[in-house]
């Protein structure tokens, strides 16, 4: 076990787990009344994933020279919504209640591709969740928040499970199949959002139709 892993394990138990619990409570308090949120969850990055990320290299050189301070998603939060328009709505609310240093809508680079999609934020940890046991001055500063639809979430979970097998890399045909499922998830999101606008928000649908 490396010194980095030992240090992260200590942080995981002493700081990240309790902070994740408090943050989840705060996110639920802030967004819990929204009608079409399927789930809000917060968890610390697992020790295995942190160690793997810390070891990443770019052009043969370590990507992080101080991973404990540089890796910003040691706590990851996720809000899963029913429809795509809910993602936009929640994202606007997030900007009201949390200070961000990054806000990115992740979509495939080319319009001819289908793959991972989601709204990502790097946010300051709200000051309300610190106390004398976990002091703000000694804590990490940021957490990552992902906002996704149910279909985006389902696709990314399965893709992560299947697409990152250490035993073998994917064949072209397997990659094509994964892209096909992403296209189906994308299509389902489009149609559900249209139906939602027509059935739940008839006035906005009429405005769009005009």
Partner 1 sequence: MELNSIHSFLVHPGRNLEEPPDINGAVVNHAGRLFDMLKKVFDNAEAECPHDIAFSADESGQQQNECRNAILAYVKKTDMTHGRLLAKRLQSVTTNRSGLGLLFLMMGAEKGETKIVVSRFPADSGILAEEREKGLSVEFLERIFMKSATSYKAAVYTGKSHDHDFWKGKAGDKQINSAESYIASYWIREFLNSDFLTPGEAGTRRFASAVRDAMNRAGDTDVKDEIASLCRLLPGMKGKVVSAKNILSHFQISAKTQDRVKASFKPDRLFDERFRFMPDELTKFIAFKTVELDNGGLLTASTDAFDSVFLREVVDPAKALVKFSTEGTIIDQRLRKTKS
Binding residues for partner 1, rule: CB under 8 A, are 30, 66, 69-70, 95-104, 122, 124, 126-128, 130-132, 141
Cβ closer to partner 1: 126 or 163? 126
In the complex with partner 1, the residue whose CB is nearer, 103 or 198, is: 103
Q: What is the DSSP string of the chain?
A: --HHHHHHHHHIIIIIHHHHHHHHHHHHHHHTT-TTEEEEEEEEPPHHHHHHHHT-EETTEES-SSHHHH-S-SEEEEEEESSHHHHHHHHHHHHHHS-EEEEEEE--SSTT-----EEEEEEEPPGGG--SSS-GGGS--EEEEEEEEHHHHHHHHHHHHHHT-SS-PPPHHHHHHHHHHHHHHHHHHHHHHHHHHHHT-HHHHHHHH-
CB of 162 to partner 1, least distance (A): 30
CB of 142 to partner 1, least distance (A): 8
The least distance separating partner 1 from the CB of residue 178, rounded to whole angstroms, comes to 27
Please name the residues in contact with 19: beta carbons below 8 A apart, sequence gap of 6 or more: 44, 75, 125, 129, 134, 139, 140
Beta carbon of residue 98, minimum distance to partner 1 (angstroms, whole number)? 7
Q: Shortest Cβ distance from residue 137 to partner 1 (Å)?
A: 10
Which lies closer to partner 1 via its Cβ, residue 127 or residue 165? 127
- Which one, 96 or 165, has the nearer CB to partner 1? 96
Query: Which one, 46 or 70, has the nearer CB to partner 1?
Result: 70
Distance from chain centroid for Cα 20: 14
Of residues 55 and 207, the one with the C-beta less far from partner 1: 55
In the complex, the smallest distance separating the C-beta of residue 154 from partner 1, rounded to whole angstroms, is 25
């Amino acid at each position: 076990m490396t010194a980095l892993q030992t240090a992260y394990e200590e942080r995981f138990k002493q700081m990240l787990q309790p902070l994740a619990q408090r943050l989840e409570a705060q996110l639920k308090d802030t967004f819990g009344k929204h009608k079409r949120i399927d789930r809000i969850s917060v968890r610390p990055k697992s020790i295995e994933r942190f160690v793997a990320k810390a070891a990443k290299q770019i052009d043969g050189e370590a990507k992080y020279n101080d991973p404990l301070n540089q890796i910003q998603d040691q706590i990851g939060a996720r809000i899963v919504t029913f429809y795509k328009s809910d993602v936009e709505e929640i994202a606007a609310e997030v900007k009201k209640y949390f200070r961000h240093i990054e806000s990115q809508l992740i979509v495939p680079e080319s319009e001819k591709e289908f793959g991972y999609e989601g709204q990502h934020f790097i946010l300051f940890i709200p000051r309300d969740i610190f106390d004398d046991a976990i002091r703000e001055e000694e804590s990490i500063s940021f957490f990552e928040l992902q906002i996704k639809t149910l279909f985006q979430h389902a696709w990314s979970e399965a893709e992560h499970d299947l697409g990152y097998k250490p035993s073998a890399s994917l064949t072209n045909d397997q990659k094509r199949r994964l892209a096909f499922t992403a296209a189906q998830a994308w299509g389902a999101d489009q149609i559900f959002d249209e139906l939602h606008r027509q059935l739940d928000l008839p006035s906005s649908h009429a405005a769009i139709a005009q």
